[in-house]
Structure 1
Amino acid sequence: MDTPLLPERLDAALRARLGDGWLLGEDTRRRHGEDSSKRWALPAAVALPRSVEDVVAIVRACHEHRVPIVARGAGTSSTGAAIPYGGGVVVSFERMARVLEIRADDRQAVVQPGVLNGDLQHALAPRGLFWPPDPASAGQCTIGGNLACNAGGPHAVKYGATRDNVLGLVAVTGTGEIIRVGSSTTKDATGYDLTHLLVGSEGTLALIVEATLKLAPLPTRRASLRASYADVASAGAAVARIMAQPATPSMLEFMDAACIRLVREVGGADIADAGALLMIEADGDAGTLPHVVEALERAARGDGMVELASASDPAANEALWAARKALSPALRTIAAGKINEDVVVPVSRLPALVAGIEALAREFDLPIVAFGHAGNGNLHANILFDPDDAAQSARAHAALPRLFTLTLSLGGTLSGEHGIGVAKRDFMTEAFDAPTLAAMRAVKAALDPDGILNPGKVLPP
């Protein structure tokens, strides 16, 4: 793959500034040019800044020479958001990975973007605190990456996604200016909310170099329920009942019939066959948790329920959640190719979404399994196929736009936590009208007037 050469002045300036943090070797560039989407492109260089000042120097040099910049965390994106298709410079934040401050009394942490989500949780636990976003890749993904795509996870149903758990940011715009947005307070009605604008922008508006995060008290106890239903409609009605009563679950996960068969037959999970399954978790303390569990059990019961199992001790909890954890490995055993989309609909439309997915599976003669975060209406629809079979591959990629059309027709949206990247970029014209896209482009032009920050992502050409 041809890679554009860097201007000599830029190369000399950043080599002098970054020293061993300015990398030009082809193997290194290749490693930093791919992510979990299985896409890749070769950047002209990789920059490893150690400070905010380094980031400013990188952006200003690239701005002067109109060289593209792609910010990178740990490369766990499934949408191609970190692929440097235009060459240029990949800015990897692996050397800006410090927890700068934990303000336990204010339930806040100040971190650099390269901190791993899991490392932050380990640092917070001794203080009885945690940061709620918990994507499946929490052990490997960075806080910067979580901020870039507004990551969520199972706990988002109670605690919110990344955007709901950020108070302020320090970022570098496409012209190399440092901006400080948000504050260290949980209430702020001062000016435009640029903090929440930057979260989820996938590095297209500015490079986030510091974040002030909102923390939550670590629950002292957890309890789990597993409810199986005769069909999706019954499970959907249960989700509506659960979310309508005051006791909010800390997790509310869904599996369709295809997922249940997978975890039984391939994953070996001890779980009865059913039309749909809900995994429900509650958290709290010794005084409140029993009442929450009782309320969730009442809401889970109803027409079509086949079985309800509960657990309150850690070992029993783990056994109940083993079914959910067995799912992803099971998927990998039955198909080499997988298109995993994280569509979202209003909770009341979940049964219609699952019914539509089942109809698509029949129409395209492919396994399509759905599971995910029922309490948010956020399902992971996995289209499974053999990439070496041209006919299967064609059918899988033909089913994808139909999935998005179905989701939008139900009042939903394209992504709940993975982001847009390049995988869903061209479907943005279906999700938004022309004036809305024009407003987004105007924001992009204001913060990155020359379009050097992660070009070609999020917004359609």
Structure 2
Amino acid sequence: MKLPTSLLDILHATFGAQACSTHEAERLAYAYDNSRRHALPDAVVFAQAHAQVETLVRACREHGVPVIARGRGTNTTGATVPVQGGVVVSFERMNRILRIDPDNRLAVVEPGVLNGDLQRALAPHGFFWPPDPTSSPWCSIGGNLACNAAGPRTVKYGSPRENTLGLRAVAGTGDGFRCGTYTSKGATGYDFTRLLIGSEGTLALITEATLKLTPKPSGLRTLRATYRDVTSAAHAVARIMAQPVTPCALEFIDDVALQLAHDHGGDSVPLAGAMLMIEVDGEPATLPSSVDAISRAAHGDGLETLHVAQSAEETQALWSARKALSPAQRTISPNKINEDVVVPVSRLPELVHGIRQLSRQHDVLIVTFGHAGNGNLHVNLLPRDEAEHERAHACLADVFALVIALQGTLSGEHGIGLVKREFMPLALEPSTLGLMRNVKSAFDPDGILNPGKLLP
């Protein structure tokens, strides 16, 4: 659409010439995300203050123009692709850490702060923010909150929903509001904070976040266990998670992934039926007993090797297989389909077995790895030609059906976005979806915030 002159005048007056653009080159740069889907916005603005966002949303609502919030575009579901045009508001320049308060275990940040930058700022204070997606060096806190993106440490420390105390935001009406608390306990009204987290910019635009911090453990041990087959490894995950010591990371890698990583990374990557990467943290005095407890749980039918790293260099070597996976997959299929399904941990063996059957049934290469301690596996379909690409989409529908049958859910941390909208009725009853639409209408009565996403 061509934006009305009156709206463009407001955008230029609000953001200034250096933070508002309708040039095609700038619009192209904000037309896509890591899903490889793209659609051209009509304008791009760069927010630097809460008041600017209020003005933007009010003006766009008056003219019926979509508003799409964007962090760094690292999401894989098309959640920031402006499918109906409109204005993309980038928060990359709204990147200040406003307050670090160790006494109250909190930090107040703007949405454009990078996850990795925040972690480095917190380290001298002896704290960290637990969500740590693989993309932490370049993904933003706002994007983490929008998708509830977490990473390996979620198994022990929780996702953004468990690690965010409060938010400042702007609803689709243009009204700014605050929700949540500066305290670790609160029971005052509805929990809008957890509601907004994971809503993918469809309810409100987050302009500030109060984050709950966690003291950084002084000790860490890394274990690597290899197994005869994926089922043995999946059973080991269930045993590990059923005993009292909770690992801070528990990653599963199947045999297909190991072969790919070995081909790409060399002999430092072991070949096995499956592998678990396990990390345990805590104070040095308690770590040996924790490692022993995890090791006992890892033992069982199918275990081939179990090794505990004794140095930082050895730890890096043990993680080599996991780190080699992404570049290895790109060599096989530049158009990989990456989904992050979740099932109850006790159902992991059934999920892994079922995915293996679907791979054979549809004749599509599937690589499976991920955050097994949460039952959150990344299912990567790797079509190598057009025929396989068609089969992969049919296979994906069956993967989702399997996950729901195992009492699981469609996404653990990537979100729904554009890619998984059509599958939402598999996961949620019509009455539930109806209530979600009512919530959407309350926050965004004219449907201008990130239209075409999340809800089918």
TM-score range (shorter-chain normalised) is: over 0.9
Asked if 1:446 corresponds to 2:408, the answer is no
Per-residue CA shift, 1:62-107, capped at 9, x if unaligned?
A: 0111110000000001000000011110000011100000001111
Q: 1:290-301 to 2 correspondence within 5 Å?
A: 290-301=288-299
* Equivalent residue number for residue 167 of structure 1: 165
Q: Which of 269, 277, 280 is the equivalent residue of 1:279?
A: 277
Cα pair 1:71 1:91 within 8 Å, conserved: yes
CA distance in 1, matches of 2:47, 2:338: 33
Instruction: Name the SS of the counterpart of 1:396 in structure 2.
Output: helix
* Equivalent residue number for residue 384 of structure 1: 382
Runs of 5+ unmatched residues, structure 2: none
TM-aligned CA deviation for residue 269 of structure 1: 4.4
* Equivalent residue number for residue 407 of structure 1: 403
Cα pair 2:231 2:352 within 8 Å, conserved: no
* Equivalent residue number for residue 224 of structure 2: 226
**How many residues were matched structurally?**
455
* Equivalent residue number for residue 183 of structure 1: 181
Instruction: Name the SS of the counterpart of 2:177 in structure 1.
Output: strand
CA distance in 1, matches of 2:62, 2:314: 59
Cα pair 1:132 1:156 within 8 Å, conserved: yes
* Equivalent residue number for residue 348 of structure 1: 346
Cα pair 1:99 1:110 within 8 Å, conserved: yes
* Equivalent residue number for residue 14 of structure 1: 11
* Equivalent residue number for residue 125 of structure 1: 123
Q: Which of 206, 209, 212 is the equivalent residue of 1:211?
A: 209
CA distance in 2, matches of 1:57, 1:429: 35
CA distance in 1, matches of 2:418, 2:252: 27
Please tell me the residue identity of whatever aligns with 1:126. Answer: P
TM-aligned CA deviation for residue 273 of structure 1: 2.6
Q: Which of 21, 29, 48 is the equivalent residue of 2:27?
A: 29
Runs of 5+ unmatched residues, structure 1: none
TM-aligned CA deviation for residue 340 of structure 1: 0.4
CA distance in 2, matches of 1:118, 1:267: 25
Q: Larger deviation: 107-116 or 328-337? A: 328-337
Instruction: Name the SS of the counterpart of 1:385 in structure 2.
Output: coil
Instruction: Name the SS of the counterpart of 2:265 in structure 1.
Output: coil
Cα pair 1:445 1:451 within 8 Å, conserved: yes
Instruction: Name the SS of the counterpart of 1:62 in structure 2.
Output: helix
Q: TM-score, normalization: structure 2?
A: 0.98
Instruction: Name the SS of the counterpart of 1:247 in structure 2.
Output: coil
Please tell me the residue identity of whatever aligns with 1:12. Answer: D
Cα pair 2:222 2:315 within 8 Å, conserved: yes
User: Percent identity over the alignment?
Assistant: 59
Cα pair 2:265 2:320 within 8 Å, conserved: no
* Equivalent residue number for residue 394 of structure 2: 398
Cα pair 1:222 1:312 within 8 Å, conserved: no
CA distance in 2, matches of 1:312, 1:421: 42
CA distance in 2, matches of 1:447, 1:336: 38
- The CA RMSD over aligned residues, in Å, is 1.0
CA distance in 1, matches of 2:430, 2:273: 41
Per-residue CA shift, 1:127-167, capped at 9, x if unaligned?
A: 11111111111011000000000001011101111111100
Please tell me the residue identity of whatever aligns with 1:192. Answer: Y
TM-aligned CA deviation for residue 396 of structure 1: 1.3
Per-residue CA shift, 1:191-211, capped at 9, x if unaligned?
A: 111100000000000000000
Change (3 A) 1:78 1:128: same
Per-residue CA shift, 1:303-335, capped at 9, x if unaligned?
A: 211111111321111111111111111111122
Cα pair 2:269 2:320 within 8 Å, conserved: no
Cα pair 1:101 1:110 within 8 Å, conserved: yes
TM-aligned CA deviation for residue 336 of structure 1: 2.4
Please tell me the residue identity of whatever aligns with 2:5. Answer: E
Please tell me the residue identity of whatever aligns with 1:91. Answer: V
CA distance in 2, matches of 1:272, 1:23: 50
Structure 1 runs of 4+ with >6 Å offset: none
TM-aligned CA deviation for residue 217 of structure 1: 1.0
Per-residue CA shift, 1:342-388, capped at 9, x if unaligned?
A: 000010111111111111111121210100001000000100012xx
Instruction: Name the SS of the counterpart of 2:195 in structure 1.
Output: helix
TM-aligned CA deviation for residue 233 of structure 1: 2.4
Q: 1:31-46 to 2 correspondence within 5 Å?
A: 31-46=29-44
Q: 1:64-75 to 2 correspondence within 5 Å?
A: 64-75=62-73
Instruction: Name the SS of the counterpart of 2:207 in structure 1.
Output: strand
CA distance in 1, matches of 2:34, 2:280: 31
Asked if 1:153 corresponds to 2:151, the answer is yes
TM-aligned CA deviation for residue 266 of structure 1: 2.5
CA distance in 1, matches of 2:386, 2:259: 27
Please tell me the residue identity of whatever aligns with 1:283. Answer: D
CA distance in 2, matches of 1:227, 1:287: 24
Please tell me the residue identity of whatever aligns with 1:354. Answer: V
TM-aligned CA deviation for residue 397 of structure 1: 1.5
TM-aligned CA deviation for residue 225 of structure 1: 0.7
CA distance in 1, matches of 2:271, 2:31: 43
Please tell me the residue identity of whatever aligns with 2:265. Answer: G
